[in-house]
Structure 1
Amino acid sequence: MSIENKIRIKLRAYNYNILNESCQEIIQTASRTQAKTIGPIPMPTKRRIYCILRSPHVDKDSREHFEIRTHTKIIDIYEPSSQTIDLLMKLNIHAGVDIEVKL
């Protein structure tokens, strides 16, 4: 039984352009150290819809709907070296991107 050495990076953002740029930066960094990358794998977009009354006292029928879309992508890095991990830790990612790393 061999234990595979793998890093799974999960990226979330409201803006998909920033998310795509961050994915490209991570893949380029991993490829510089000859680590195998799989991804970015797009996950289903989550939509949160909020219904708000336009007027709090009258016109109950008059409402507005707002939505927030959360885009998610997963990148798997196989056989990472210590140099790969160091470069990924030093990488500057956009402020609107949430990163979750599992070893």
Structure 2
Amino acid sequence: MPSKESSLYQVKLKLTCSDLALLQRFEEELKSFLDETSSYTFLRLPTRSHLKTVLRSPHVNKKSREHFVLDVHTSSYTIIDPSNYCIRGLLKRLKKWSGGEYLLTFCERYGRRNRL
């Protein structure tokens, strides 16, 4: 039985979007792909709310203002042992995704290699 060495690298993906339904649809597509290709951890981060204030009429009615609330939904994936196929498929899916932002980080894991 050949021994398999675990990778010393991991990939972190952070998705942010203002539309929760759009984010959930993309997460379902991403989860179905990642279940087939590699092991990962998923974390839904708390929603951040930003309050924006706009003056209705800047010259006459200074006290008349409108308030808008912008909710930002965030989720995070950590892919433990990525393969080349997994990275290529992930980049292909991220290229097609619109409506939000993503941050893709390649990290080096320190420590000893786990031998199976």
TM-score of the aligned structures, taking structure 2 as reference length:
0.74
Correspondence for 1:90 = 92
Name the larger-Rg structure: 2
Percent of aligned pairs with the same residue?
A: 29
Q: Are 1:100 and 2:103 counterparts?
A: yes
Q: Are 1:15 and 2:45 counterparts?
A: no
For 2:44 and 2:96, how far apart are their aligned partners in 1? 18
Correspondence for 1:53 = 55
For 2:73 and 2:20, how far apart are their aligned partners in 1? 6
Segments of structure 2 that go 5 or more residues without pairing to the other structure are 1-5, 107-116
Q: How many residue pairs end up in the alignment? A: 100
- Which consecutive segments of 4 or more residues in structure 1 shift more than 3 A? none
Could you say what secondary structure the match of 1:56 adopts?
Answer: coil
Segments of structure 1 that go 5 or more residues without pairing to the other structure are none
Q: AA paired with 1:99?
A: Y
Q: AA paired with 1:64?
A: E
Shift of 1:64: 1.1
CA RMSD in angstroms, aligned pairs only:
1.9
| Matching of residues 22-101 of structure 1 within 5 Å | 22-33=26-37, 35-39=38-42, 41-91=43-93, 93-101=96-104
Shift of 1:101: 0.7
TM-score of the aligned structures, taking structure 1 as reference length:
0.82
Correspondence for 2:3 = none
Q: Deviations over 1:52-87 (max 9, x none)?
A: 222223333322111211111101111111111111
For structure 1, which segment, 45-54 or 73-82, has the greater mean C-alpha deviation from structure 2 after superposition? 45-54
